Amino acid sequence: MMEGMLQGLMTAISPFNIVMVVSGCIIGTLIGMLPGLGPMSIIAIMIPIAISIGDPSSALILLAGVYYGAIFGGSTSSILINAPGVASTVATAFDGYPMARRGQAGKALTIAAIASFCGGTIGAILLMAFAPALSSVALLFHSAEYFALMVLGLSAIAAFAGSGSVGKALMMTVLGLIMATVGEAALFNAPRFTGGVQEFQSGFSFITLAMAMFALPEALYLVLDPNRSGKAGEGGGEIRDMRITREEAWTIAPVIGRQSLQGFFIGVLPGAGATIASFLGYAVERNLATKEEQAEFGKGSIKGLAAPESANNAACSGSFVPLLTLGIPGSGTTAILLGALMSLNVSPGPRLMIDEPDIFWSVIISMYLGNLVLLMLNLPLIPYIAKLLAIPRNYLIPFILFFTLMGSYIGQNNATELLILVGLGLAATVLRFADYPLAPLLIGFILGRMLEDNFARAMQLYDGFGFILERPMTIGLLVIATALVLLPSYRARRARLLRKGVAQGD
């Protein structure tokens, strides 16, 4: 094993591969900043270029750099213009954007960069240490466990429900689950709930829905509420308070540590990925926070920003475990990477680490180098990136609208998608005015299809609901999900009883 690691190290630090790491990180970061062009799109475009390089190690190092560069850069548009173009950066917008609006864009980007670097680095170290052992753990998860894992992800709605809004959050989650059923069914390739509209046959696009829920309502809010937009267009553009204080560093350090570990182990599971890791990271940290800190979540909490950023970057590293050791893609992006591996005549699986250690270890070591490159690239650029918020309101609104429309159109290459975007965006604006949380809808939509697919497979395999009782891990995950949902209600009831006791004592 040590000999293989040394081989991989020598391959990774060769001048040409260093250039590949830097190039991949730059391309990924720039693409990640643009809503609508996520890592899947750019990796698909980059595959012919990677194959033309010839050397499998260099090609994979380039593609891996693009992958985690896109995740690293994806937080920028979420923080600055509330337009998450990638599912794994949706949770970043919940606290990152409020920080930017109150004049802390520089600090928000700094925290995101540090949390991303730490998450990615810890993930790379864990990948190096535990990849062979974790591959056997990943094999223990079947459809029943994945169904329970999706339910656990949906339990994150408790983290996005304000005081007295749990009912509204549940309603929005159910609406998201309903929207996920539009299109082809999990068990048969036939359209359903399309209303005869051909464009609905493939279901709603995530990019369109994300833009409609966050970016488009934000542009409309800037028009409808000039006072609200004043800070975003003026105060938000002042690059001040870029550095984090020692107290803030101590506050986010345990969050980054916990979520890097949790995110990595979630990323190891095929089919889980960075999206569930980021949502669960946010939910867990909110539940662990004190009552005063919980009130800050959704309004610019540094814990709420650091948690999903650490988790999603660590999960990216974790997703390479099933890809390299089992040949199982853990997400859509790693499925494209698997295709690239096949095109390069590399067969991922248990024998890869033994037969071609230079490829296996060079990709893993390049991840650490890539995270270092990303930190060195992004930190000096933060003052210039954050100046995006200094754009006057009359220019900022068309800017947001342009990227919203462009992201939606590029996602499906279909003009009808723009009509769907406008319709959903207007509905989302009305829901925001009615104080309905939009995040649970998006969570329900993202996890709904995976939930249905795994539930259907588990029902077929176990001939009914028996899979819940027959699989101990399934029961365990469902119990944890139930606890996450009930914990906020328990805390609220306990607080009421304490207040009542104090009042009676007086």
Q: What is the pLDDT of residues 15-64, one digit of tens each?
A: 888 898 889 888 888 777 766 556 766 776 777 788 788 788 888 888 88
Do the Cβ atoms of 30 and 74 come closer than 8 Å? no
Nearest to 276 by CA among 374, 469, 145: 145
Determine the pLDDT at residue 139.
65
Look at residue 138 and tell me if it is in a domain. Answer: yes
323 within some domain: yes
Distances, alpha carbon 135 to alpha carbons 243, 259, 282, in Å: 40, 21, 26
In a domain, 421, yes or no: yes
Q: For the packed helices 56-81 and 302-318, what is the interaxial angle rounded to 10 degrees?
A: 160
What is the average pLDDT across 310-328?
78
For 151-302, strand residue ranges (E) read 183-184, 191-192
Find the domain containing 347 and state its range: 2-500
Counting residues of the chain whose pLDDT is more than 90, the rounded percentage is: 3
Strand partners, 184: 191
Is residue 442 pLDDT above 80, yes or no? no
Residue 450 lies in a domain: yes
Q: 112-116, 298-302, 468-472: which has the minimum mean pLDDT?
A: 468-472
* Segment 160-166 mean pLDDT: 59
Q: For 399-404, what is the mean pLDDT? A: 74
Average pLDDT over residues 80-98: 79
Which one has a higher pLDDT value, 331 or 207? 207
Alpha-helical regions (H) of 33-89: 39-53, 56-81
Range in 26-30, 327-331, 442-446, 481-485 with the lowest mean pLDDT: 327-331
343 HSE (CA, 13 A, CB side): 18
Residue 152 placed within a domain: yes
Is the pLDDT at 351 greater than 70, yes or no? no
The whole-angstrom separation of Cα 50 and Cα 60 is 7
Q: Which of 25-34, 82-91, 418-427, 487-496 has the lowest average pLDDT?
A: 487-496
Averaged over 178-184, what is the pLDDT?
A: 84
Number of separate domains in the chain = 1
Alpha carbon distance 302, 501 (integer Å): 33
Query: What band does 232 get if pLDDT is binned at 50, 70 and 90?
Result: very low
Tokens describing residue 233: 């267009």
CB 103 within 8 A of CB 80: no
Instruction: Work out the average pLDDT over 456-484.
Output: 79
pLDDT at 271 over 70: no
Q: Which pair of tokens denotes residue 170?
A: 């549940």
> How many angstroms separate the CA atoms of 321 and 204, rounded?
30
Q: How far apart are CA 119 and CA 266, in angstroms?
A: 13
Instruction: Give the pLDDT confidence score for residue 327 in this predicted structure.
Output: 65
- The answer to whether the beta carbons of residues 18 and 369 sit under 8 Å apart is yes
Kind and range of the H or E element at 469? helix 467-470
pLDDT at 405: 79
C-alpha span between 205 and 179 (Å, rounded) = 10
Q: Residue type at 414?
A: N
Tell me the average pLDDT of the chain. 77
Q: Is the pLDDT reported for residue 229 higher than 50?
A: no
**Residue 4 confidence (pLDDT) above 70:** no
Q: Helix (H) and strand (E) counts for the chain?
A: 24, 2
Token digits of residue 411: 């996602």
Tokens of 86: 């990638």
Report the candidate in 441, 402, 435, 28 with the shortest Cα–Cα distance to residue 215. Answer: 402
Counting every residue written for the chain, the total comes to 506
Torsions phi, psi for 183 (to 5 deg): 115, -155
**What are the φ/ψ torsions at residue 82 (nearest 5 degrees)?**
60, 40
Predicted confidence at residue 256, as pLDDT, reads 92
pLDDT of residue 255: 92
Domain assignment of residue 506, yes or no: no
- Look at residue 505 and tell me if it is in a domain: no
Three-state SS at 196: coil
pTM to 2 decimal places: 0.69
Does residue 394 register a pLDDT over 50? yes
What tokens appear for 299 in the block?
């309004």
- CA separation, residue 491 to residues 13, 162, 304, 495 (Å): 52, 13, 19, 6
The DSSP output letter for 322 is: I
**pLDDT surpassing 70 at residue 230:** no
Q: How far is CA 298 from CA 21, 77, 119, in A?
A: 35, 17, 22
**Tokens in use for 225?**
């509420």
Instruction: Answer with the residue of higher pLDDT: 290 or 44.
Output: 290
Task: Yes or no: say if 229 and 239 are a contact pair by the CB < 8 Å rule.
Answer: no
Task: Check pLDDT > 50 for residue 95.
Answer: yes
Q: Which pLDDT does position 350 carry in this prediction?
A: 61
* pLDDT greater than 70 at residue 162: no
Sequence-separated (6 or more) residues with CB below 8 Å from residue 273: 88, 266, 267, 315, 319, 330, 331
Q: 3-class DSSP state for residue 415?
A: coil
Question: Does the pLDDT of residue 159 top 70, yes or no?
Answer: no
Q: Any long-range contacts for 52-57 (C-beta under 8 Å, 24+ apart)?
A: 53/20, 56/341, 56/344, 56/345, 56/346, 56/356, 56/359, 57/11, 57/12, 57/17, 57/358, 57/359, 57/362, 57/363
What token pair was written down for 235?
């105060």
Look at 403 and 260; give whichever has higher pLDDT. Answer: 260
Residue 242 falls within a domain, yes or no?
Answer: yes
